[in-house]
Chains A and B, each alone.
Chain A
Amino acid sequence: EVQLVESGGGLVKPGESLRLSCAASGFTFKEAWMSWVRQAPGKGLEWVGLIAGNSSGGTTDYAAPVKGRFTISRDDSQNTLSLQMNSLKSEDTAVYYCLTTGGGLWGQGKLVTVSS
């Protein structure tokens, strides 16, 4: 089955770190450009960043609000995408989705809450 399944998430304090993972199956992951998108409670969708596929060198790109704090990586041997989030702020509270970069396939989303 073609799917993306996120794990991780939860409640952290401001300034702390958290890592989200996304397990891919049913498609050729290593060539897929992958992205993270988030949605704060009651708000719209916000693009977080992307990582290119293997043949495109795995380069990354980030939205301004997370640049320097978030890191996207991939393990093509495990078909896994990761989002390392450091120096978390209250405004990072959101449901985080992994998806293929064109948006054709989305995970179910994981809630990250940053609160003291």
Chain B
Amino acid sequence: DVVVTQSPLSLPVTLGQPASISCRSSQSLVSSDGNTYLNWFHQRPGRSPRRLINKVSNRDSGVPDRFSGSGSGTDFTLKISRVEAEDVGTYYCMQSSHSSSFGQGTKLEIK
């Protein structure tokens, strides 16, 4: 099974400052079809998760351009260029190249 490890697990950030979350997998996420199925999600308490980024770096419709995804192989990053109040919540990476699995989640809060 692919183990996905996120860091940090807690991320206090000042409004307007950048933030970065790392996601590492126990094996390469390059799928047999050549795609890398690594997605990022944001979840607010009591709400369903919302996908922000699909296949490493593609922003979903309606997602602000302050969110960006990058990486390859086993090492991936979600960056927020300038954190806004609405960005609080928990962020998860999920791989679906080999079955599926989630990272533990990173809780972003405003300092």
Contact = CB atoms under 8 A, between A and B. Distances in A.
Interface of A: 35, 37, 44-47, 50, 61, 63-64, 97, 101-104, 106-109
A70 to B, nearest CB: 14
Contacts of A107: 48
Nearest to A46: B102
Interface in B45-64: 48-51, 54, 60
A97 B48 contact: yes
A61 B104 CA distance: 21
7 contacts: A44-B105, A45-B49, A46-B102, A47-B94, A101-B100, A103-B39, A107-B48
Interface of B: 1, 37, 39, 41, 43, 48-51, 54, 60, 90, 92, 94, 96, 99-105
Contact of B48 (A44, A102, A108): A108
A37 B39 CA distance: 15
A50 B94 CA distance: 14
Nearest to B1: A64
B93 to A, nearest CB: 10
Contacts of A102: 37, 39, 51, 54, 96
Contact of B49 (A46, A61, A103): A103
B48 A104 contact: no
Contact of A50 (B1, B92, B100, B102): B100
Most buried by B among A45, A50, A97, A106: A45
Contacts of B102: 37, 44-47
B48 A106 contact: yes
